[in-house]
């Protein structure tokens, strides 16, 4: 695979535009490969595949935070994120097959970031000392960009810890470079040995658009399944890429045909640089629900969630006046399963934009210790009184 990090190599983009985009790439890393470039329809300036990897001037708009979910606050050891008792994330690689323009972890690709550790020994030690950790997600960056030997050492290290039952690998390589799976017999052998009938390894694939499901991509998924992986897909709702019911429906359908279940759909985090990719909560909900009406039951198992600092929050409903949310996972165990009823706001993109009318279980909005909701209370109360 030939990787491209120099925008001047993209001669399909006019020279003046390339010059402008270099300012974007100077702030947020740019990298793509020739296979993925080949999927772009250059005749279409709004082509979703182009939008996914080619810098956009609007990224420079001053908006959002680099670490919008405050992930770094959950890092007890370099390269480890531990937010929920049973689950640990190992950030073991800081490179990806290409860089998605909407990435919520783009800070990891910046020079001064030290949240990733390519030496996972301290992370493995941390996990080994905590019997409550049953579930480990290898992430980054993209773990499948590591050599098979290195990945093998990490997986073998995890398999040697008796209380780790589930290993997940989060990767967009099935979309960016399918041959990374189908073309590496040693990797497939590693999966065959380590993904057993008793303990499967889960590949958390990341397809955003049905056009990424090319023949080589489907062959990569088939090779992974054949080697014993369980494979699911998860992706964000991204403006101009997949925020359309038919696009999502086709993605769900074709993944289900290939034996891959859609797991989470993510509401985009308010991450710096991501303004052009944001969708509102109401729009995302409508798109997902409309997509689900067009597919069979197997293809519509996904949950639409916000990975908020306070937990994973499912967007469960929208009516004329309200947005209904539920904690699917909560950082504070007291909020586990808790419902939040919010005033409907068609411009809101994130939980912090919403006014919470009622968090079942009582009290102020549970994700903040301060009383930031007080200034919003009269409006919330008025709405409550109005029924
Ligand atoms: S593959 Fe994942 S981690 Fe890498 S740039 Fe894309 S979204 Fe970010």
- pLDDT one-digit tens code per residue, 60-90: 999 999 999 888 889 999 999 999 999 999 9
Do 22 and 93 reside in the same domain of the chain? no
Q: What percent of the chain has pLDDT over 90?
A: 83
Per-residue pLDDT at 195 exceeds 80: yes
Mean pLDDT for 332-341 is 88
What does the block give as tokens for 123? Answer: 């992370």
Do 141 and 185 reside in the same domain of the chain? yes
* CA-106 nearest atom, ligand 1: 8
Q: Between the CA of residue 81 and those of 137, 245, 382, what are the distances in Å?
A: 10, 34, 40
**Each residue's pLDDT tens digit, 174-193:** 999 999 999 999 999 999 99
| Buried residues in 204-228 as b, exposed as e (16+ CB within 10 A) | bbbbbbbbbbbebbbbbbbbbbebb
| Domain termination residue (choose one: 259, 283, 309) | 309
What DSSP element (H or E) covers 243? Answer: none
Give yes or no for a contact between 79 and 62, defined as CB atoms under 8 angstroms apart.
no
Take atom 1 of ligand 1 and give the residue whose Cα is closest: 172
65 lies in some domain: no
Do 256 and 287 reside in the same domain of the chain? yes
Do 166 and 242 reside in the same domain of the chain? yes
Domain at 213, CATH number? 3.20.20.70
Can you give the residue range of the structural domain that contains 350?
310-387
Do 286 and 165 reside in the same domain of the chain? yes
| Domain termination residue (choose one: 21, 36, 59) | 59
**Each residue's pLDDT tens digit, 10-19:** 999 999 999 9
Per-residue pLDDT at 164 exceeds 70: yes
261 lies in some domain: yes
Pocket test of ligand 1: the residue of 32, 104, 105, 234 to mutate, having most ligand atoms within 8 Å of its CB, is: 105
DSSP E strand boundaries for 129-187:
135-140, 166-171
93 lies in some domain: yes
Per-residue pLDDT at 360 exceeds 90: no
Q: Between the CA of residue 45 and those of 31, 41, 208, what are the distances in Å?
A: 19, 8, 18
Distance in Å, CA 310 to ligand 1 centroid: 22
Distance in Å, CA 334 to ligand 1 centroid: 32
Take atom 6 of ligand 1 and give the residue whose Cα is closest: 100
347 SS3 class: coil
13 lies in some domain: yes
* CA-104 nearest atom, ligand 1: 8
β-strands 311-318, 322-330 pairing: antiparallel
What lines the ligand 1 site, CB under 6 Å?
A: 96, 99-100, 103, 105, 141-142, 172, 206
* CA-140 nearest atom, ligand 1: 3
Give me the DSSP letters along 85-136. TTEEEEEEE---SS--TT-TTGGGGSTT-----S--HHHHHHHHT-TT--EE
Do 45 and 180 reside in the same domain of the chain? no
Do 9 and 98 reside in the same domain of the chain? no
pLDDT in the model for residue 155? 98
What does the block give as tokens for 134? Answer: 């049953």
Pocket test of ligand 1: the residue of 108, 140, 141 to mutate, having most ligand atoms within 8 Å of its CB, is: 141
* CA-96 nearest atom, ligand 1: 4
* CA-139 nearest atom, ligand 1: 3
66 lies in some domain: no
pLDDT in the model for residue 331? 87
Band the pLDDT of 370: cuts 50, 70, 90: low
Distance in Å, CA 195 to ligand 1 centroid: 24
82 lies in some domain: yes
* CA-99 nearest atom, ligand 1: 5
Distance in Å, CA 352 to ligand 1 centroid: 24
pLDDT in the model for residue 140? 87
pLDDT in the model for residue 288? 97
| Buried residues in 282-302 as b, exposed as e (16+ CB within 10 A) | bbbbebbeebbeebeeebbeb
* CA-172 nearest atom, ligand 1: 1
Does a cis peptide bond (omega within 30 degrees of 0) precede residue 141?
yes
pLDDT in the model for residue 334? 83
Do 53 and 102 reside in the same domain of the chain? no
Do 202 and 249 reside in the same domain of the chain? yes
Q: Is the pLDDT higher at 113 or at 25?
A: 25
**Each residue's pLDDT tens digit, 248-307:** 999 999 999 999 999 999 999 999 999 999 999 999 999 999 999 999 988 888 999 999
pLDDT in the model for residue 365? 56
Do 173 and 292 reside in the same domain of the chain? yes
Do 138 and 194 reside in the same domain of the chain? yes
Q: Domain tally for the chain?
A: 3
Take atom 7 of ligand 1 and give the residue whose Cα is closest: 103
pLDDT in the model for residue 69? 87
Take atom 3 of ligand 1 and give the residue whose Cα is closest: 141
Minimum mean pLDDT range among 147-161, 227-241, 288-302: 288-302
| Domain termination residue (choose one: 59, 80, 98) | 59
Take atom 8 of ligand 1 and give the residue whose Cα is closest: 103
Give yes or no for a contact between 297 and 261, defined as CB atoms under 8 angstroms apart.
no
Do 240 and 386 reside in the same domain of the chain? no
Report the chain's mean pLDDT, rounded to a whole number.
91
């Amino acid at each position: 695979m030939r990787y491209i990090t120099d925008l001047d190599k993209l001669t399909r983009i006019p020279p003046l535009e390339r010059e402008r985009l270099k300012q974007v790439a100077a702030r947020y890393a740019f990298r793509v490969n020739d296979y993925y470039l080949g999927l772009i329809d250059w005749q279409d300036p709004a082509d979703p595949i182009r939008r996914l990897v080619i810098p956009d001037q609007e990224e420079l708009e001053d908006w959002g935070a680099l670490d919008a979910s405050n992930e770094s606050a959950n890092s007890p050891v370099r390269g480890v994120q531990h937010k929920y008792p049973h689950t640990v994330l190992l950030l073991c690689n800081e490179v990806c097959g290409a860089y998605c323009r909407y990435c919520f972890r783009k800070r990891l690709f910046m020079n001064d970031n030290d949240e990733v550790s390519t030496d996972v020994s301290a992370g493995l030690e941390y996990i080994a000392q905590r019997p409550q950790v049953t579930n480990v997600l290898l992430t980054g960056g993209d773990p499948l960009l590591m050599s098979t030997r290195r990945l093998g050492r990490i997986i073998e290290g995890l398999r040697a810890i008796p209380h780790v039952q589930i290993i997940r690998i989060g990767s967009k390589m099935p979309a960016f470079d399918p041959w990374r799976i189908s073309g590496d017999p040693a990797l497939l052998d590693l999966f065959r040995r380590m993904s057993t009938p008793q303990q499967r390894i889960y590949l958390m694939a990341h397809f955003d658009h049905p056009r990424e499901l090319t023949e080589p991509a489907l062959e990569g998924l088939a090779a992974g399944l054949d080697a014993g992986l369980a494979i699911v897909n998860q992706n964000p709702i991204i403006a101009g890429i997949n925020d359309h019911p038919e696009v999502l429906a086709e993605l769900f359908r074709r993944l289900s045909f290939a034996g891959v279940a859609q797991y989470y759909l993510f509401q985009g985090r308010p991450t710096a640089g991501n303004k052009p990719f944001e969708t509102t909560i109401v729009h995302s909900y409508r798109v997902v629900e409309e997509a689900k009406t067009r597919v069979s039951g197997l293809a519509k198992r996904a949950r639409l969630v916000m990975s908020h600092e306070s937990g994973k929050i499912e967007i469960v409903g929208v009516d004329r006046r309200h947005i209904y949310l539920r904690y699917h996972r909560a950082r504070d165990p007291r909020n586990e399963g808790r419902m939040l009823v919010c005033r409907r706001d068609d411009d809101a993109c994130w939980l912090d934009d919403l006014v919470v009318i009622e968090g079942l279980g009582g009290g102020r909005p549970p994700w903040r210790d301060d009383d930031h909701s007080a200034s919003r209370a009269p409006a919330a109360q008025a709405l409550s009184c109005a029924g």
